[in-house]
């Protein structure tokens, strides 16, 4: 029985991760179909509030960064993180983060030093997702089916047949694809279908979230507004995010270890965190009770089916690295899957996704969990006199403010999580004897060690290095006298897209300590040296996943493109 629809790749879920993955595949010339259960234009949940620098770099490459940067909070609204006794109470400390009008030019502060063409952006998902959706709809090679639920799928040697249901008409259709990717969230059907199991810590914390409208709230502030305001008092601790910078807000009420969702009155908690009385009026827009976890799937792939984002990992969203980790998954999978479908990627290409992303997911999820536990300890240790008048109260507030700043500047200005992670066990990387530099949530050392992020520099003509990199491999050469034709010739013979980018003598000299650095399509270093290797074909076969016995395990079987 012939399928009703055919495509090269079927993406299940049109959230930010699924849309980004689909756009990148489409730009690489791969036909993509996205299935989404929501109506066209139906707003997403008010969840993600932060787009990381790495994600903004991706959006820059996809041509949508400027539209995103112009959306969200007003251009001059402070992106700071403030710590107060209540939202409207006494300020304890503040982490300065530039407003978006100053984001590209700002200097000073804890996150303006980052080596990137695209700093982070504070924007809620309700503004982010419609922009991504519109951009995706306009992409050649990309189609989106709204109100379509993928209910089941079967794999064979040549592809996948998925069963889909139109939720409006109740009509069933069959979709035939070469590969399927589940970006379908924490209850992922695709994860269950590939037999993956979530493993880790089931409960890190419980949170009551309340999305509300309160036009009068800004007028009650005693201090300059902030993007995020953490309230710390003996009655209740919580965080309040500015959504539109005018009247809509998202409040997280963190429950204690002995509390349940039913044991805490939501309205009472909201008022204790805001610091307002019973006469204050607000409009409840939506509410959600959720559990923060640290769960990672024990596998990210079964033959032709993969999982990304929340389908592959769930953790309490410290450092804003829930959605952003999913976008990193998507970028890793997109270029490797495209390489396979274009015919130049070997079996190691399909193995690389799990070999690279699963260990990083474990690392990031532990950063997030450990930070959440440290925050919980601070909330449980709120000084009883933190709101008291006089010297004693002032001393308590000063000490609390300092501790809150020192801990939380790591998550809100998380340079290490953005730029420090590296792939150290990949079948696609030619390693040398130098280990990658260690990193923390907030600190990292730029490096050309294979597996690390390709160090960003500004070129002499003012362009970002990342704007000059090709969509395939780029051989970054600091010494124009080094003959690279043997490597380029080997790449051409295998169909591997590779270009040369020459740096002048002064550009990047402090970090580009080899004459040649080979950057992958996802801006990670694949290889480096001062000259072409003796076996150029061997190197090319390594980076395209065609050599056996490389790190990352044995091939799971060759799948024809």
Does 561 have pLDDT greater than 80? no
pLDDT at 557: 32
Largest distance between two CA atoms of the chain: 81
pLDDT at 327: 95
Give the DSSP letter of residue 251.
E
| Residues facing 383 on adjacent strands | none
Sorted by where each starts, the structural domains of the chain and their CATH numbers stand as: 5-73+123-199+294-367 (3.50.50.60), 429-543 (3.40.30.120)
Does 186 have pLDDT greater than 80? yes
**CA-to-CA distance for 542 and 409, rounded, in angstroms?**
40
pLDDT at 1: 53
DSSP 166-211: ETTT--EEEEEEEEEEE---TT-HHHHHTT--EEEEEEEEEEEEEE
pTM of the model: 0.94
For 357, the token pair is 């992303």
**CA-to-CA distance for 370 and 379, rounded, in angstroms?**
14
Helix (H, G, I), strand (E, B) or coil at 10: strand
For 507, the token pair is 């550009």
Cβ contacts of 485 within 8 Å, gap of 6 or more: none
Give the pLDDT band of residue 553 (cuts 50, 70, 90). Answer: very low
- Per-residue pLDDT averaged across 408-425, rounded? 90
For 334, the token pair is 């997109």
Does 8 have pLDDT greater than 60? yes
pLDDT digits (tens, 9 = 90+) for 198-224: 998 888 788 999 999 999 999 999 999
DSSP 15-69: SHHHHHHHHHHHHTT--EEEE-SSPTT----S---EE-HHHHHHHHHHT-HHHHH
Q: How many Cβ atoms sit within 10 Å of the Cβ of residue 554?
A: 12
**CA-to-CA distance for 4 and 176, rounded, in angstroms?**
8
């Amino acid at each position: 029985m012939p399928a009703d629809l055919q495509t090269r790749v079927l993406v299940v879920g049109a959230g930010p991760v699924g849309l980004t993955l689909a756009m990148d595949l489409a730009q690489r010339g791969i036909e993509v179909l996205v299935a989404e259960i929501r109506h066209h234009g139906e707003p997403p949940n008010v969840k993600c509030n932060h787009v990381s620098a790495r994600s903004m770099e991706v959006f820059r490459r996809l041509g949508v960064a400027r539209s995103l940067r112009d959306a969200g909070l007003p251009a001059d609204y402070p992106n700071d993180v403030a710590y107060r006794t209540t939202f409207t109470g006494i300020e304890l400390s503040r982490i300065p983060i530039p407003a978006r009008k100053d984001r590209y030019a700002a200097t000073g502060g804890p996150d303006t030093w980052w080596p990137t063409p695209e700093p982070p952006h504070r924007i809620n998902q309700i503004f982010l997702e419609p922009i991504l959706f519109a951009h995706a709809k306009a992409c050649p090679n990309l189609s989106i089916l709204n109100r379509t639920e993928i209910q089941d799928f079967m794999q064979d040697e040549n592809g996948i047949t998925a069963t889909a249901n139109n939720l409006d008409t109740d009509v069933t259709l069959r979709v035939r694809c070469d590969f399927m990717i589940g970006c379908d969230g924490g209850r992922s059907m695709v994860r269950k279908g590939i037999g993956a199991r979530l493993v880790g810590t089931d409960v890190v914390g419980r949170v009551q979230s309340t999305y509300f409208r309160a036009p009068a709230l800004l007028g009650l502030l005693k201090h300059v507004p902030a993007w995020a305001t953490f309230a710390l008092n003996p009655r209740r601790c919580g965080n309040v995010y500015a959504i539109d910078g005018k009247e809509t807000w998202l409040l997280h009420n963190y429950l204690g270890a002995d509390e349940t969702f039913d044991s805490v009155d939501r309205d009472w908690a909201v008022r204790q965190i805001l610091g307002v009385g019973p006469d204050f009026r607000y409009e409840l827009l939506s509410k959600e009770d959720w559990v923060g976890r640290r769960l990672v799937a024990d596998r990210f792939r079964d033959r032709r089916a993969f999982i990304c984002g929340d389908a592959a990992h769930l953790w309490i969203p410290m450092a804003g690295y829930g959605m952003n980790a999913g976008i990193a998954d998507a970028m890793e999978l997109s270029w490797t899957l495209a390489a396979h479908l274009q015919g130049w990627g070997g079996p190691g290409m399909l193995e690389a996704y799990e070999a690279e992303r699963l260990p990083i997911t474990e690392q990031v999820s532990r950063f997030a969990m450990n930070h959440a536990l440290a925050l919980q300890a601070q909330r449980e240790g709120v000084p009883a006199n933190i709101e008291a008048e006089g010297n004693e109260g002032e001393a308590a507030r000063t000490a609390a403010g300092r501790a809150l700043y020192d801990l939380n500047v790591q998550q809100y200005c998380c340079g290490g999580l953005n730029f420090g992670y590296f792939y150290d066990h990949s079948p696609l990387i030619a390693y040398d004897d130098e280990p990658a530099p260690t990193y923390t949530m907030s600190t990292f050392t730029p490096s050309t060690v294979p597996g690390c992020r390709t160090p960003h520099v500004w070129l002499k003509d003012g362009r970002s290095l990342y704007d000059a990199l090709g969509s395939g491999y780029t051989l970054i050469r600091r010494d124009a006298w080094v003959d690279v034709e043997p490597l380029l010739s080997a790449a051409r013979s295998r169909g591997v897209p590779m270009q040369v980018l020459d740096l002048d003598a002064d550009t990047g000299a402090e970090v580009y300590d080899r004459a040649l650095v080979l950057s992958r399509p996802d801006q990670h270093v694949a290889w480096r040296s001062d000259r072409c290797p003796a076996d150029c074909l061997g190197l090319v076969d390594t980076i395209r996943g065609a050599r056996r016995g490389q790190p990352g395990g044995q091939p799971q079987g060759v799948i024809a493109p």
